[in-house]
Amino acid sequence: MSPVLDANIHPTAVVHAGARLGGNVRIGPYCIIGDEVEIEDGCELMAHVYMEGPLRIGSGNRFFPYSTIGVVPQDKKFHGERSATRIGKENIFREFVSVHRGTELGGAVTSIGDHNLVMAYAHIAHDCRVGSHTILANGTTLAGHVLIEDYAVVGAFCGIHQFCRIGRHCIIGGYSVITQDVLPFSNTVSERGVKTYGINSVGLERHGFSPERRKKLSRAFRLLSGSKLNTSQALGKIRAEAADSPDSVDVQELVRFIESSERGVIK
């Protein structure tokens, strides 16, 4: 990438000499692009977008007005050490989204994958890792060090506590407060306490999970939350059933997720 390669830059935009822009990058009115910002081909910054480096952005991303990307974290332990933000390709960042770069204690990188939709006013804090094909609805707030796995859907105005993991293909209902790990494939929501209500049936069907795969996951969830077994007993029974069915890869992933949880999981 050259500093300005076929970029369409509005005359009111401010682009630092150290920024590097790919081909067909469109930068709208009053955007500010700082030093060490790399933007690959086909990205669009509509208006009033603010970016700080070190920041690397893949191709085909769209940034709606007033989004702020790569700014310093809201962490009192941060003292100006070098850290970065990494964003993949073809993501959408809606109005007033904020993404903060990493800290030394968290690996110094905040990372976002590909094909994500980050809706208006969502916040992705320092050292978060967001996978691909996720949806973070309006007002979603991720505290530091949160992991969002692929295809997760987080409902509007949810708050995710530091260091929590949000498992693949789950859906979290709006206004939920999440302080423990959310199981992959689950339907989880706050309602007089945060609970898991079985599997994310609609989402799994949309993503090509066969009826047999969904049935096996439903059985595992019933053992976890709908039986009189404690978590250890339920896991033992789930493992035994999975051993008799070698193709139960989703169930095995669920078991691994629970066994590796440091904060506990929501049942």
Active-site positions read 126-127, 144
Two tokens, residue 2: 């050259």
The structure tokens listed for 198 are 């079985």
CA distance 41 to 228: 55
User: Which contiguous run of DSSP H or E holds residue 129?
Assistant: strand 129-130
Cis peptide before 211 (omega within 30 of 0): no
164 Cβ contact partners less than 8 Å away, ≥ 6 residues apart? 143, 146, 147, 178, 179, 180, 181, 182, 263
Side chain identity at residue 147, one-letter code: L
Instruction: Report yes or no: 84 and 108 within 8 Å, Cβ to Cβ.
Output: yes
